[in-house]
Amino acid sequence: MLATPISQQMAVGIDIGGTNTVFGIVDHRGEISYRGAISTKKHANIKDYLDELHEAILPALNQFGIDKLIKGIGIGAPNGNYYTGKIEYAPNLPWKGEIPLADLIQEKFGLPAALTNDANAAAVGEMTYGAAKGMKDFIMITLGTGVGSGIVINGELVYGHDGFAGELGHTIIIPGGRKHWSTGAHGSLETYTSATGVTLTAIELLNKYKDKPSILRNYDEDEIDSRLIYDCAIQGDELAKETYAFTGEILGRALANFVMFSSPEAIILFGGLCKAGSLIFQPAKKTMEENLLPIFQNKVQIIPSELKESDAAILGASALVWELK
């Protein structure tokens, strides 16, 4: 049998979320030719979950020829550890403790598998198919429900000594600042630049500037979320815009510190908050530059992800496969 040319190889990308698992078959250029999803939540038993996943993916594998074109399976999951191949104590998944998922998938599918957390997968995806193509040094920050990060140095993802490197959302930017709803830490990046953080900032500003009119005042506090704030901001609502300005400033402070650590070529931002565009990019850039040592100034781009948000998780997971040795 002749070997398959590398350019024709395909990868399976699986992204495991707390509610659903999505997957796809991806080629070298990031084209997704098959997509599917199953429920994560309903499977308290990992064996049942793997059975359903296998059944769902099997038709696609047969179509492509499991032993010929598919190079392997990449998996993005919360608390996924690249070194051990285990999901370790993920608070929002149905399986407790340590789950040796890479091994289980490898066994079930008879294909090499690699696992990492979702933010790391996003960074590899961006490097393989997106805005970081050709970059050897960049930092990816995901601004979503939480704040995740993936760091690439010398063309390789930084996993650190134990596989858990790159928790930039939990670095403390404002000592003694806002208390994190889950970790209890004060002033971490995530308390300000996540969807929840933005919502808390808007509510704080509404209470602080009682005389300032805002569309947001038409809603109860518990109706305010990051989507509503975004809608108000693009309608020109001053208080909503100020919410983004503040968020961008905190982000900029954090980015300056990250740049002085690893001196990347670019910072790539991904996730819901990026939709606000210059409302957040512009203050982030300005504050970052102000906090940088001169040798770092005006060198680092802050750019949005080039991956479609709905595809990014599958693409990121699939990109792990091309890194398999």
d(CA 294, CA 24): 45
Give the contact letters, 286-315, x = binds to a second copy (CB under 8 A), - = no. -----x-xxxx--x----------------
Cβ closer to a second copy: 9 or 262? Answer: 262
CA 275 to chain centre: 15
Applying CB under 8 A, does 160 fall inside the site for a second copy?
yes
H/E element, 76 = strand 70-76
Q: Which of 30, 146, 150, 163 binds a second copy (CB under 8 A)?
A: 163
Report the candidate in 65, 57, 63 with the shortest Cα–Cα distance to residue 1: 65
Q: How far is the CB of 261 from a second copy (least distance, A)?
A: 6
Give the contact letters, 46-75, x = binds to a second copy (CB under 8 A), - = no. ------------------------------
> Collapsing DSSP states into helix, strand and coil, what is residue 237?
coil
CA 175 to chain centre: 25
Give the contact letters, 249-288, x = binds to a second copy (CB under 8 A), - = no. ----x--xxx-xxxxxx-----------------------
d(CA 218, CA 20): 34
Q: CA torsion angle for 168, 171, 174, 178 (degrees, to 10)?
A: 90
H/E element, 70 = strand 70-76
Applying CB under 8 A, does 96 fall inside the site for a second copy?
no
Q: Which stretch binds a second copy (CB under 8 A): 101-109, 163-171, 275-283, 313-321?
A: 163-171
Residues that bind a second copy (CB under 8 A): 79, 88, 136-137, 151, 153-154, 156, 158-168, 170-175, 183, 185, 253, 256-258, 260-265, 291, 293-296, 299
